[in-house]
Structure 1
């Protein structure tokens, strides 16, 4: 059921002339005939008085009439001596020497990063100039492939891939994208 679009129901109009004049008189007679429950009132007053008397008697008893017993500590002869704490690990750590076995990294072939390959040498030189503005040195190498002469812009050689990645991130910050890292020989 769609509560948002429903139409409110029409309620029938009440007719003011249908009020009964006798109803007003009947309520007056009912209140006159009711008796006050005196028994309930007397019991409530007795309970309140008993509760008040209990609170007053509890309050008065804590003034010092009941004393708490004082506990005496046992004589010192019965207790053993407190042992001295001795921390051994501090002395052991000062004299220990930690040996860590770190395997040596195997250096693979040198890494070269190619940032572009162009048909025109002028395009390759333009990219080389942009790379030089970042502060890196690049080379333009002409290579002949199955589909003609290409001019490649390369950086490197790098000993590790991490070094090549560092330079690639510098180029990306300068908005030079598309550089790929390869395992190439310098031939």
Structure 2
């Protein structure tokens, strides 16, 4: 036996909510378009304001009797161009061991060669090294040797921009 599809009731709550939101939005637009379109009245028309301004004019007369400020002279404007600072820079320590950057380790040589080709498109030369361990043969994709870690970091950042991530930098064994 097939059951007849039951007609679902109309979602009145959602319809009313949508109409209320649309109505509130329309009211907000109408309110913003009609609010404060007239200019405010000038303050000078009121007699109370004139009385409040008159004491201030006396203050302005008092300020005119103040002594004149002398022109300021700044010493640092002349002394700054001749100023120099000596900074002691320590020499970078050069490592006795070279660095290598490993970007991948794969079970198949084809995967390693694919990554090597992607690295070659970035203008860098990679090597595929075969490693035999207790859990089988691995094909490692490495770059280097680098004399300084900074050179290896520069290469790693270049590869990251090409979306080749997970490169690690270690000492060359």
TM-score, scaled to structure 1: 0.46
Instruction: Report which of the two structures shows the higher radius of gyration computed on alpha carbons.
Output: 1
